Structure formats: structure tokens, C-alpha cells
Amino acid sequence: MKILMLGWEFPPYISGGLGTACYGLTKGMSQIGAQVLFVLPRPAGGQGGSRIQILSPSDLQAINAASADIPADMPNVTIKAVDALLQPYTGQAQHARHLADLQAIHQAGQPAGGHQPADFVDLPPSAVHYHGDLLKEVRRYAQLVANLAGEHSFDIIHAHDWMTYPAGIALARATQKPLVVHIHSTEFDRSGKHVNQAVYDIERQGMHAADHVIAVSHLTKSICTARYGIPADKIEVVYNAILNGYQPLNGQRVTIAKGEKIVLFLGRITMQKGPEYFLAAAKKVLGVMENVKFIMAGSGDMTRRSIELAAAMGIGHKVLFPGFLRGQDVEKVYRMADLYVMPSVSEPFGIAPLEAMSNDVPVIISKQSGVSELLTHVLSVDFWDIDEMANKIVAVLRHPPLQATLRQHGSFEVRKLSWQDSAQQCIRVYQSVLSARPNSPAEPLANPA
Amino acid sequence: MASVCFYFQVHQPYRLRRYTIFDSDADYFDEYHNKQIIHKVAEKCYLPANKLILDLIRKYEGRFKVAYSCTGVLIEQLEQYAPEVMSTFYALADTGSVEFLAETYYHSLAFLHSRKEFAEQVSLHCDLIEHHFKQRPSVFRNTELIYNNDLAAFVAQMGYRGILVEGADHILGYRSPNFLYHPPGNPNTTLLLKNYRLSDDIAFRFSQRSWAEWPLTSEKFADWVHQVNGNGYTVNLFMDYETFGEHQWADTGIFTFLEHLPERIFDHPDDDFKTPSELVQTHQPSGELDVPYMISWADTERDLSAWLGNAMQSNALYELYRLEQQVKDSHDDDILRDWRKLQTSDHFYYMCTKYFADGDVHKYFNPYESPYDSYINFMNVLDNLRARLR
């Protein structure tokens, strides 16, 4: 079976969990013998090249050389990059810079690629929260992808998150191949009550146009049924996982000061991730314990407000903001942490706790997260219950046996999760979708593992 | 001849209320839920089962008999929340066909941590039983049938003539639980071994439709008991009392099964019912049983791992018993009672991480979402108790 996947980020160009999830799922697919053609927007600022670039696994390895922990042993995967700027969380200024880079590349005499306007790609004209150009880029990506129709053969289209849905719809119409959309998050998770109508419309259109919907949790599935009007039997829940053989660090634990405990927040500092609940709990913890520091690693539109909030609460000296961390810095910060807290207000899944657990860090997760459906050897709290969050933070810091038990069972639990299992569940979805179509019987896997 | 020896464990702990690091009062227990659970179990199990057993004793004019072990914490809660259940137990005690066993008042794991505390709790319990039921126990059962040679020696020295023991395969080997045994070096103490197969047929498999023997009828069961003849003289059926009406709901037919069982047992003229102390009086132990390490009746492991299986459990128990001297030196009865109520084994059972993911018997009336929550809550309460000692 050959799958054409549409994504918007892939390591090392990632801004969050989506790239990690796409990478893991693709690798799982490859390991069970499925052929994947992964199409993603090529990040601007790279070396110039043709408009559509085919990267071989060795090229991918070259890209990945910077982050040595990502292997490129994916024999059944082809990566295709098209020029579009799908980076929803960059600021306006950064986006303009990328756009200028792209234009420079195009003006340097690249072939136009012969793409006609795809009039069936129906996009709203503008968006407020996402810089206007992003929606243009989404449309351009859709056109570029639609042009791939004749160039490659595949059985099914699998589109990851809203920015790829117009592309998925266009390609599905052009090729008559079935479309599966994968919901890693919804506009309601990202924006709370201030939903961007344009983005919502694209999500809704994608889910309705799809032959089947994959949601990363039952929490997300329930949003799809309640807010997007998708029948429950059209949605399959496939949980994310963590890469097999993920090597936890064996090195010495690092501390800031002797006897000082460290509580870690790691993720985008945005409304969705609940930074203010983390700070409120920190304030309570510091009321009963002295020797604790709180690290808020990440960046986002609430970074500044969080710094100000910490100062206003009088705990500024106890909260550190190291900014967005990558690669080894992430490992280092895990090595420092006594506890990882994910206080998300709304988290469709939440891969970061799995990473923390495989780094032997005990975790507290919000009950409003998809991953809480899956994990048992964690502490879970309602994100709004800051008393309970503080209560649990203090308990973990004070009682080494609690830490030890969470670590011991948690690392077993997380090792049981495998991307191959998630990939297998996706394959079952494809097979049922394909067999529902009279003219395209499902092919068996080329070489099942 | 074969005797059936029924013993029912009757126990409910004082469950803790949600207690965070920010709480500072000395009200540790969840009165609302404890009361609710006592009412529920009284209605579904204690009242109908006591009535049925009383009827059977009267009907068979004393030939049907049973033994109970009611913990101190249960009796306290019954007096407070369901005194009508206490009066049915009084009626049972008055028949002369019901034996009450000795155990630790607080259904505790004290033997593992403090022999002094253990002895005090056992004697408190015996006083309580004598006060309510006008009989002083002569046979002992430890919390969850936790047992080894040391316990036998210690309990024998306290004057008990019989002790209840789990008839685990890895202890008995080729031997049968249907005989009586004695601990090494002490032929005067009698060990009564639980026939776990026949006990579990009632306690666990009764309503299991996938079981080959389902549905279990009184006749079939009485035949199984009768088959023991020639290879033993007693079938010790030890189980939680909540088996009747709570673990096995009334609509499974469990009460009907019990109602007809005596009749079917008496169909075999040689078979009868005996209480533990009658067995001790009737038979000489048939052999020595050496149990050098701790066993219990819990889970498939039959060991201590349900209460001491992870670091949280051993830490909580260690920290709790570390306070013993300070608690006793304080001469504060409230502190002593609270400390003892915290010893009830259920608190540590809730912290068990075995099978946590599967959802099973460990979840029975478990007030916590996870073993971690239970440890955190317990340690917060213990913190407060410690503060009261300063």
C-alpha cells in the first residue's frame, strides 16, 4: 500500500508536537512495510532548488545531521518538499523574512512549475489571528500539491492538520483517491473561545470531505463530533507514541544549586498550554517549600505576559525563562528536572509527557489532555485546580518513594507505546476506506514486518 | 466424615477524606462516604445475610454454624451508622452456634512492624468482641491471613489455640488443606488451612458464566465437599462476608445457594458444619507445616506484595510506625486513635500499583483514582499527625 502524506512540519523543522508525531508515524509505517510519500512545505532559507524537490533518505539524513538523535532509517519513505511557508506559530516579522527569502529564490530564475490556478481550492480570503499570508500559503501549497496528481501513484491520501486539508481535498478530487484527515489539534484547542472562523471552516471542510477522520484522542474525537458535526463512526482514535529505542540519558543529573528542586514546564507558552495555571501553582508551592525553582522553557505569545505575571506574583526570582529549546538542550533540561508539569487547558494529545517519562522524569498532566486517557503511571489534575496541582508538585518533591515509583512504572509504561502500533491502526483505517470503495480493492502491504 | 467450616471476614476501613498539603485540621476521615458505604453494604449484604444465617441456625437447631471475624473499625462504624446491623449480630451471637475470631482491632499490618502494637491491638479487639458478643475468642486470624512461623509462635504465646492460614499450593505442596496442621515445634497450636479452590468457587467464580461449572448449585457443591471423605475431614471455606450480596449480587442466586447448602450437606449423613474452635477440639493436627516466609490470601501471589509491593507502600508504613513511641508518649487518646485508624491495611492496598491498569478487585470501594493519589493523600494526613505530636 502506498500512502501520500501531507504534512506541514517534519524534523528538524518543527515548532511542536505535530512534526514529532508525523515523523514517528511515518517511521512506524516504514517499519511495517508501508510505502509513504511524505509531502511537506520546504522551509525557506535553505539552499535554492527546484520548486518541487524530492529528497532521498540520504538527503534527509543530511538535513538531520544537526540533530543526531533522529535516525533516517526509513527505507520505504520518500520525502517531497514544496515551497510554501507553513509555519503557523512564527511572528509576522519572521514570516515576512521567510517570504522574502522565497521570493528571492523564485526571482533567481526558477521554473514556474506550470501550476494552474486550482479553482476548486476554496479558501476564505483572510484571517485575523494567523497572519493573512499564511492562508495564502495554505492555498499555494494546495495548488502545488494538486499538481503532483499525475506525477506519483498512490492508494490513499493522509493529511495532517488543517493547513494541509485544502491540499488534501484538491488532490483527492484530482485523483479520485480516498482522503483521510488526521486531527492533531483543532482550532478550539489552539484558540479557546476566540476561534478563527477561516481556520474553523477549513477544518470543517476537511473533516467533511474526508472518507475517514483520525483523531489523536477521544477528547479530540468528542470535539470533532460536537463542534464539527462529524458522526462518531467516521472517526477513529489513534494515539501517538514515542520512538522505539529512545535512549534516556545516563549522565549525571544536573542541578542549578545543591538541594534545589526543579519543576519544568516545556512547550509553547500560549493560552492553550496553561502557563498562568503553572505560575499560580508555583506560587502556592513556594508558600510551603523554599528550595524550588520553576523553569518555563518554550516561546509563544504569552511569554512576556508570563514573565510579567511571575514578577507581579513576587516569584520572579524563582521562575526561569530559558526560551525555546532544541535537541540537546531539551535533554539537558530534562536531566535537570525533578518533575515535569503539563497544565494544558486543552491538549488534544501531548507527546511531551511521554518524552519526559522516557527521560525518567515523573510527570503531572492535566486531565484535559488526550494523553491522560492513555497513561496510568502519572499524576493527573484538572488544569484549573491549582491547589491540587500544587499539592501534587509538593508531594513529588518531598517524597522520593513517590518519584521512584512513578519513574519505575512510568518508564515501563512508555516503552510499551509504539509508533508501529499507531501505524498499524492507520493502515486498518485505510483498508476499511479502500474496501468501502467498489473499484479500488485494498492492496495488502508490500512486505509486512 | 467431612465438616464444613465457614468463616466470614467482616470489615470496612475508615476511608480518608481528600486532604491536601494546605489542610491543617485534624479531621482525616470521610464521614459522608464511610457512612454511605456502610449503609449500602448493610442493605445489600450484612442485613440479608445475617437474617438468612440466623434463619438457617434456627431451622437446623444449631447443626448449621459459622464463624465471623468482625474488625474493631467495622464494629465502631456499625454502632455509629447502622446499629440495626449490630442487633442482628447480637442475635447471631445469642444462638450459641456462631463463633467470633480474634484479629487486630484496626485490621492492621502491625505484626510486620511492631509486635508491641500488634499485641495491644489484638487484646483491644478481644475485649471488644467479649463486650459485644459475650464470648472471648480462642482462634486467631491475622489481617488478610498474613502468616509465618514467627506469627504462629507469637500468637500461641498469647494463648490462642488455633490460627487461620491460607492453604496456598506453594506452602502445602502435595498436602491437602483438608487436614489440620501445627507449626514447627509447637504441636499444641492448630493451623486451619483455607481450601482456596472451594472457597473461591463461591467467592469469585459463583457468577462467572465462562466457568465450566457455572451455574453452581448447592447439590453440586455439597457433592464436592463429600468427595473430601477419605482425604481429609474438613473443608475450610474462608471468604469476605461481602461475597453475599455485594461481590456476588443477590440476583446471581448467591443467597439461594447458601439457603439450600445446609440441607444438601446434611443429605450426606456423615457430613456436618463445625466452627474453627470445634475443629481444634475435635482433631489432633495431622502434621507439621513450616512457613518460614510471609504468606497471605491476597492476589495470585499470596504474599505481601499487595501492601508492600512498591516504594510508596513501604515508605508510608515505615513513616507511620516510626511515630509509635511518640504517639504513645503523648498520652493523647485522639492522636492514638487517629494513628491506629491510619494503620488499617486498606490504606496501603489502595497504593498498590500491581494490576492498576487492569481494573480489578483492588478497585473495590477504592476512593482513589490512582495509587499515587492515595499515597499523596495518606502522607499529607501523616504529616499533620506528626505536626500534632510536636
Same-domain status, A186 and A295: no
**Contact yes or no for A376 and B356 at CB 8 A:** yes
Please give the DSSP secondary-structure letter assigned to residue B45.
I
- Per-residue confidence (pLDDT) for residue A106, from 0 to 100: 45
Please give the DSSP secondary-structure letter assigned to residue B248.
B
CB atoms within 10 A of CB A393: 28
Q: List CB contacts (< 8 A) between B19 and chain A.
A: none
**Contact yes or no for A391 and B20 at CB 8 A:** yes
Contact B62, B96 (CB under 8 A): yes
In whole angstroms, give the CA distance from residue A19 to residue A240.
Answer: 12
- Report the relative pairing of strands A261-266 and A292-297 from DSSP bridges: parallel
- Per-residue confidence (pLDDT) for residue A56, from 0 to 100: 41
**Mean pLDDT computed over every residue of chain B:** 95
Closest CA to B115 of B158, B161, B176: B158
Of the pLDDT bands very low, low, confident and very high (cuts 50, 70, 90), residue A58 is very low
In whole angstroms, give the CA distance from residue A242 to residue A247.
Answer: 11
Of the pLDDT bands very low, low, confident and very high (cuts 50, 70, 90), residue A136 is confident
Q: Chain A: residue nearest B21 by CA?
A: A391
CA dihedral sign of residues B353, B356, B362, B367: positive
Of the pLDDT bands very low, low, confident and very high (cuts 50, 70, 90), residue B298 is confident
Q: Which residues of B246-268 are buried (b: 16+ CB within 10 A; e: fewer)?
A: bbbeeebbbbebbbbbbebbbee
If 0-12 CB within 10 Å is exposed, 13-18 middle and 19+ buried, where does residue A54 land?
Answer: middle
Residues 6+ apart with CB under 8 A from B206: B216, B243, B248, B252, B254, B257
With a threshold of 0.85, tell me whether the complex ipTM lies above it: yes
In whole angstroms, give the CA distance from residue B34 to residue A218.
Answer: 34
Q: What is the mean pLDDT of the segment spanning B113-120?
A: 98
User: From the list B20, B21, B372, which residue is nearest A406 (CB)?
Assistant: B372
Residue with cell 493529511: A159
What does the domain layout of chain B look like in residue ranges? 3-288, 306-388
Same-domain status, A294 and A350: yes
CA distance B311 to chain A (A): 5
Reduced to 3 states (helix: H, G, I; strand: E, B; else coil), residue B204 is coil
Q: List CB contacts (< 8 A) between A405 and chain B.
A: 310-312, 353, 371-372, 375
A196 lies within 8 A of chain B by CB: no
* Number of domains comprising chain A: 2
Q: What is the mean pLDDT of the segment spanning A161-175?
A: 94
Cell numbers found for residue A174: 484530482
If 0-12 CB within 10 Å is exposed, 13-18 middle and 19+ buried, where does residue B114 land?
Answer: middle
Q: List CB contacts (< 8 A) between B316 and chain A.
A: 401
Residue of A373, A399, A414 to mutate for B, most B C-beta atoms under 10 A: A399
Same-domain status, A237 and A315: no
**Contact yes or no for A392 and B376 at CB 8 A:** yes
Measuring CA to CA, how many Å separate A196 from each of A163, A200, A394?
13, 6, 38
Q: What is the mean pLDDT of the segment spanning A225-251?
A: 84
- Per-residue confidence (pLDDT) for residue A118, from 0 to 100: 33
Percent of chain A at pLDDT > 90 equals 56
State the amino acid at position A162 in one-letter form: W
Of the pLDDT bands very low, low, confident and very high (cuts 50, 70, 90), residue B327 is very high
Closest CA to A315 of A390, A391, A399, A402: A390
Same-domain status, A392 and A430: no
Contact B69, B10 (CB under 8 A): yes
Q: Which residues of B37-74 are buried (b: 16+ CB within 10 A; e: fewer)?
A: bbeebbebbbbbbbebbbebbeebeeebbbbbbbbbbb
Same-domain status, A128 and A239: yes
Closest CA to B140 of B113, B120, B162: B162
For A7, the enclosing helix (H) or strand (E) is none
- Report the relative pairing of strands A363-366 and A339-342 from DSSP bridges: parallel
Residue of A376, A407, A411, A412 to mutate for B, most B C-beta atoms under 10 A: A376
- Per-residue confidence (pLDDT) for residue A123, from 0 to 100: 37
Contact B26, B384 (CB under 8 A): yes
Q: What is the mean pLDDT of the segment spanning B103-107?
A: 98
Task: For domain B3-288, say whether CATH 3.20.110.20 is its number.
Answer: yes
Q: List CB contacts (< 8 A) between B384 and chain A.
A: none
In whole angstroms, give the CA distance from residue A248 to residue A110.
Answer: 45
Q: What is the mean pLDDT of the segment spanning B295-303?
A: 89
Q: A391-433, pLDDT tens digit by residue?
A: 999 999 999 999 999 999 998 899 999 999 999 999 999 999 9
First to last CA, chain B: 61
- Check whether A55 has a pLDDT greater than 70: no
- Per-residue confidence (pLDDT) for residue B317, from 0 to 100: 98
Cell numbers found for residue B15: 476511608
Measuring CA to CA, how many Å separate B270 from each of A118, A380, B62, B263, B282?
93, 59, 16, 13, 15
- Per-residue confidence (pLDDT) for residue A151, from 0 to 100: 82
User: From the list B21, B310, B357, which residue is nearest A405 (CB)?
Assistant: B310
Q: Which domain holds residue A119?
A: 2-243+418-435
In whole angstroms, give the CA distance from residue B102 to residue B155.
Answer: 10
- Report the relative pairing of strands A35-42 and A179-183 from DSSP bridges: unpaired
In whole angstroms, give the CA distance from residue B68 to residue B10.
Answer: 7
- Per-residue confidence (pLDDT) for residue B360, from 0 to 100: 58
- Check whether A95 has a pLDDT greater than 70: no
In whole angstroms, give the CA distance from residue B287 to residue A396.
Answer: 50
- Check whether A156 has a pLDDT greater than 80: yes
Same-domain status, A133 and A157: yes
Please give the DSSP secondary-structure letter assigned to residue A351.
S
Contact A313, A283 (CB under 8 A): yes
In whole angstroms, give the CA distance from residue A93 to residue B141.
Answer: 76
Q: What is the mean pLDDT of the segment spanning A145-168?
A: 90
CATH of the domain at A195: 3.40.50.2000
The answer to whether residue A408 is domain-embedded is yes
B120 is catalytic: no
- Per-residue confidence (pLDDT) for residue A139, from 0 to 100: 86
Same-domain status, A364 and A425: no
**Contact yes or no for B369 and A380 at CB 8 A:** yes
Cell numbers found for residue B175: 498436602
Residue with cell 512461623: B149
- Per-residue confidence (pLDDT) for residue A144, from 0 to 100: 85
Q: A12-53, pLDDT tens digit by residue?
A: 666 667 888 998 999 999 989 999 998 887 654 443 333 334
Please list the residues that pair with B95 across neighbouring strands: none
CA distance B278 to chain A (A): 46
- Per-residue confidence (pLDDT) for residue A110, from 0 to 100: 37
Q: A335-367, pLDDT tens digit by residue?
A: 899 999 999 999 999 999 999 998 899 999 999
CA distance A90 to chain B (A): 39
Same-domain status, A424 and A404: no
Q: List CB contacts (< 8 A) between B372 and chain A.
A: 377-379, 402, 405-406
Measuring CA to CA, how many Å separate B151 from each of A444, B118, B236, B308?
64, 10, 20, 18
User: From the list B356, B371, B376, which residue is nearest A395 (CB)?
Assistant: B376
**Mean pLDDT computed over every residue of chain A:** 81
In whole angstroms, give the CA distance from residue A177 to residue A153.
Answer: 10
Q: Which residues of A11-29 are buried (b: 16+ CB within 10 A; e: fewer)?
A: bbbbbbbbbbbbbbbbbbb
In whole angstroms, give the CA distance from residue A350 to residue A18.
Answer: 10
- Check whether B143 has a pLDDT greater than 60: yes
Among A12-26, A48-62, A202-216, A289-303, which is the least confidently predicted range? A48-62
Q: B67-86, pLDDT tens digit by residue?
A: 999 999 999 999 999 999 99
- Check whether A128 has a pLDDT greater than 80: no
In whole angstroms, give the CA distance from residue B270 to residue B234.
Answer: 12
Q: What is the CA radius of gyration of chain A?
A: 22
Percent of chain A at pLDDT > 70 equals 75
B99, B144, B166, B278: which is the annotated catalytic residue? B144
Residue A353, preceding peptide bond in cis (omega within 30° of 0): no
Same-domain status, A91 and A220: yes
Among A116-120, B93-97, B228-232, which is the least confidently predicted range? A116-120
**Contact yes or no for B353 and A394 at CB 8 A:** no
The answer to whether residue A307 is domain-embedded is yes
CB atoms within 10 A of CB B208: 15
Same-domain status, A156 and A276: no
Cell numbers found for residue B68: 465471623
A412 lies within 8 A of chain B by CB: no
Same-domain status, A402 and A424: no
- Check whether A59 has a pLDDT greater than 70: no
Q: Which residues of B125-158 are buried (b: 16+ CB within 10 A; e: fewer)?
A: bbebbeebbeeebbbbbbbbbbbbbebbebbbee
In whole angstroms, give the CA distance from residue A283 to residue A303.
Answer: 17
